[in-house]
Amino acid sequence: MSVKSESSNDNGSTTSGAEPVQFSTSPQQRSESPVAHQSTPVTDEGSENDNQQQEMGVNSEESSIKSTSEEEDDVPQPFQGIDLEQGDPKTRVVDTALDQDYPIEGDELTRLETNTQLSRDLSRMITNTADLLDQDYGEKISLSMGENIPFPPMLPDRNPYCVAFNGVDDPYHPHNYPVRRKIIYCISVGLASLSVAMGSAMFSQGTNELKEIYHIGTSVAALATSLFVFGFAAGPVVYGPMSELFGRKPIMVISCLGYVSFSFGVATAKDLQTIMLCRFFAGLVGSAPLVVAPAVMVDMFKASVRGLAVAVFACILFGGPMVAPMLGGFVVKNEHMGYRWTSYISAFIGCLALFCCTFLLQETHHPVLLVRKAELLRRKTGNWGIFAPHEEVSLSLSEIARNNIARPLKLLFTEPIVFLISVYNAFIYGMLYAFLTVIPLIFGGRYRWSQGVSELPYLSMLLGVLSGGIIIIWFEKTYNRKLFEHGNKPTPESRLPPIMIGGFTFVIGIFWLGWTGDYAEHVHWIVPVIGAFFVGNGLMLIFLPTMNYIIDCYLYVAASALAGNTFIRSGFGAAFPLFTTQMFTNLTIKWAATLLGCLGALMIPVPFLFYRYGAYIRNKSKYAMK
């Protein structure tokens, strides 16, 4: 745990008109001069050094301040540095949590990040710093400088040296990036999401070929899809918190590289075991875009336009598994290509995404940007006291596992909003992968269409998804009006009306598709195709607003909340293909659809419940927006 120094402002004064504070810069003290973050009791008695230590609460083993000059003599020097951020120190006012000039423009997150103390609190909330500090400084231990070195004088208030964004119009803030740059970043993360989404579903079209080559059953062949989606479940639990700690870009680059590598591994595998293992690790390593891509959009877009950005992401996430079976069906049907080319195509798209994330995408995570800003200011001013709140965190693997990987699961199982919304979202996502089997069963099995052609009804579902996206964008106008009425503070429950509509259209679509598709000899094929349209419409109207609702409710820990959501959602997506074929074969199409439709009907009250009691539940949560 790195503990940062408390320091005066850049020219040595804590506030306007204060005398410069001087401290010893002897060689020994320059090499080891830790400064307190908070007071720590000391057990040794009778020593002057111990008395000084008790006043300062320092930790010489975990923190040290390095002088920027190696040639200074032993004469105490004033704190040096040029303040490029604030200008004349005589006009500088110490920033506190109660600043009178607290900005009122922008959304709640923007206002927090333009205030020094609240920005520090935000960073600590995101990274669990407060808990770690209590853990590290709660023990009663005796500390000393070592080698009989006296403790240096206490440095002044450190608040003036904490960097923040320069108001809501700061061009360095991702909300204020040019539209062209935002579009490039969205394309980069969107392409990565598309490659992974298509990879999850395209390989399913090679199931029959796998069964013939390796002499396996239907359930074993379906594992190639299920293992990939199981990887989706595990990966985001790690990637979400890691992106909050280390930034979005490195996580995206590592994920794309791993996905491409394992996709080529599937394409060149010589045995079934290698195929299954590489499919799982392709999903595990490549799952970062599922949780990091929405977080990037949260970083760049204010609440008034965030819904539109996430709508595009949701269309990609749902469009990929719908386009992939059509493309995969024709690829597998081609005698010169076969099932291996489904992985080759996914890998090629992943290579393009890797290029974009490496060379076009830049960091957007606000705390990490402030760390870079602080580092730049330290270099230019020579003032080593300048710091960013996020720099207070330096975690070991055990601390990451305990405090960050566990947090998505904690949010999932302790927050009613996250749990119920995620269960509804997971059921919808599971149905998406169930239809990888249902559509071919209806149009290939009952209507006798050939492979490739039998997957074309996915176009109807895709049109339903796009129509759902248009409806959601229309609802954004109502959301933005309520946002303005509440002073640009997000009102999460305003995201719920589309879910209420989608719950009904989804259930209607399932009954329509199942009961008309089971009577192929009496019903024209266009009728179940229309039912597929309503299914796609309901999928979108439910899936996207639930994600936006989670983001708005848990804005400060959005990546972790989405990771918990992705964990259970991907579990459902992986499990459904394993039993869908048997269920629709044994129960017949109409009764299996009836069962799933009834389960969907049980979920309809969820958005109505949170529309009525959501604000009360959020006020009781320590993570949710109040």
Nearest-5° Cα angle at 326, 322 to 332:
135
CATH of the domain spanning 174-384+402-619, picked from 2.40.50.180, 3.40.640.10, 1.10.287.1260, 1.20.1250.20: 1.20.1250.20
Q: Mutual orientation of helices 248-268 and 272-285 as an angle, nearest 10°?
A: 170
Q: What percent of the chain has pLDDT over 70?
A: 75
Amino acid of residue 484: F
Q: How far apart (Å, rounded) are the C-alpha atoms in residues 83 and 385?
A: 11
Q: How far apart (Å, rounded) are the C-alpha atoms in residues 231 and 24?
A: 55
Cα R_g (the chain), whole angstroms: 28
> Which positions of the chain have pLDDT values less than 50?
1-106, 108, 114, 116, 119, 127, 129-130, 132-138
Q: From 202, 208, 235, 233, select the one nearest 220 (Cα to Cα).
A: 208
Q: How many CA atoms lie within 13 A of 599 on its CB side?
A: 15
Contact 119, 170 (CB under 8 A): no
Predicted pLDDT of residue 23:
34
Q: How far apart (Å, rounded) are the C-alpha atoms in residues 569 and 576?
A: 11
Q: 274 CB contacts (<8 Å, ≥6 apart)?
A: 265, 266
Residue-wise pLDDT for 139-178, tens only, equals 555 677 787 888 888 777 888 889 999 888 889 999 999 9
Contact 462, 537 (CB under 8 A): no
Q: Which helix (H) or strand (E) holds 23?
A: strand 22-23
Q: Is 77 exposed, middle or buried (0-12, 13-18, 19+ CB in 10 A)?
A: middle
Q: Which helix (H) or strand (E) holds 77?
A: strand 77-78
Q: From 156, 144, 69, select the one nearest 385 (Cα to Cα).
A: 156
Number of other CB atoms surrounding residue 145 within 10 Å: 19
Q: Which residues belong to CATH 1.20.1250.20 in the chain? A: 174-384+402-619
First to last CA, the chain: 30
pTM of the model: 0.71
Q: 389 CB contacts (<8 Å, ≥6 apart)?
A: 119, 120, 121, 122, 123, 124, 162, 367, 370
Decide: helix, strand or coil at residue 48: helix
DSSP-derived pairing of the beta strands 77-78 and 22-23: antiparallel
Residue-wise pLDDT for 99-153, tens only, equals 434 344 445 455 555 454 554 555 555 545 445 444 444 455 567 778 788 888 8
Q: Mutual orientation of helices 288-300 and 218-246 as an angle, nearest 10°?
A: 40
Decide: helix, strand or coil at residue 86: coil
Q: Helix/strand/coil (H, E, C) string of 98-164?
A: CCCCCCCCCCHHHHHHCCHHHHHHHHHHHHCHHHHHHHHHCCCCCCCCCCCCCCCCCCCCCHHHECC
